[in-house]
C-alpha cells in the first residue's frame, strides 16, 4: 500500500493537533515538568510526523506501524515513569534522570504522532478489502 496525499495531510493534521494540545498544557497535566512541557510535545509531534512519512514512503504497512508505535509508546511511558521518580526523589540534582524524563516525553508524543495516523490508515485499508 502506497502513501497517498490524503494520508499525509491527515498525519500532518494529527501532528499539529498533538503539538497544539501539548503547547496548551496537556503535557504538564499528564506529568511533564512545567519548564519544558510544551516543547516536548512540539518536538515529538514533528519527529513522529516525519517518521510516519518516511516509513510509509518505504511502503511499510500501517498495521506494522501500529505495532511499532504501540511498543514505542509503552517503552516511553515506562521510561518517563521511572526517570521522573528518580529525578524527583534525588537529594541532589540528577541531570541524567531529568534528561531521560524529557526525552521520554518527546518519545511519547512522537509515538502518538505515529500511532494515530497509522491506526486510521490501517482501518481504512481494512475497509478497502472485500
- Domains in the chain, number: 1
| Sequence-separated (6 or more) residues with CB below 8 Å from residue 67 | none
> Cα(98)–Cα(93) distance, rounded to whole angstroms?
9
Higher pLDDT, 19 or 129: 19
> Cα(98)–Cα(108) distance, rounded to whole angstroms?
15
Please provide the distance, in angstroms rounded to a whole number, between the alpha carbons at the two ends of the chain.
Answer: 16
Residue 34 in contact with residue 25, Cβ under 8 Å? no
Q: Which domain holds residue 82?
A: 5-128
Of the chain, the percentage scoring pLDDT greater than 90 comes to: 67
pLDDT band at 56 (very low <50, low <70, confident <90, very high): very high
> Cα(43)–Cα(107) distance, rounded to whole angstroms?
9
Mean pLDDT over the full length of the chain: 90
Helix or strand run (H / E) with residue 70: helix 62-89
Amino acid at each position: 500500500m502506497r502513501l497517498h496525499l490524503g494520508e499525509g495531510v491527515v498525519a500532518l493534521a494529527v501532528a499539529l493537533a498533538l503539538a497544539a494540545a501539548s503547547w496548551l498544557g496537556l503535557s504538564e497535566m499528564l506529568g511533564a515538568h512545567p519548564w519544558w512541557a510544551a516543547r516536548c510535545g512540539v518536538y515529538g509531534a514533528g519527529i513522529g510526523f516525519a517518521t510516519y512519512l518516511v516509513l510509509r514512503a518505504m511502503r511499510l504497512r500501517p498495521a506494522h506501524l501500529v505495532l511499532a508505535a504501540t511498543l514505542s509508546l509503552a517503552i516511553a511511558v515506562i521510561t518517563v515513569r521511572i526517570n521522573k521518580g528518580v529525578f524527583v526523589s534525588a537529594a541532589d540534582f540528577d541531570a541524567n534522570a531529568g534528561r531521560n524524563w524529557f526525552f521520554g516525553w518527546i518519545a511519547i508524543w512522537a509515538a502518538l504522532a505515529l500511532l494515530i495516523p497509522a491506526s486510521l490508515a490501517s482501518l481504512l485499508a481494512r475497509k478497502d478489502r472485500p
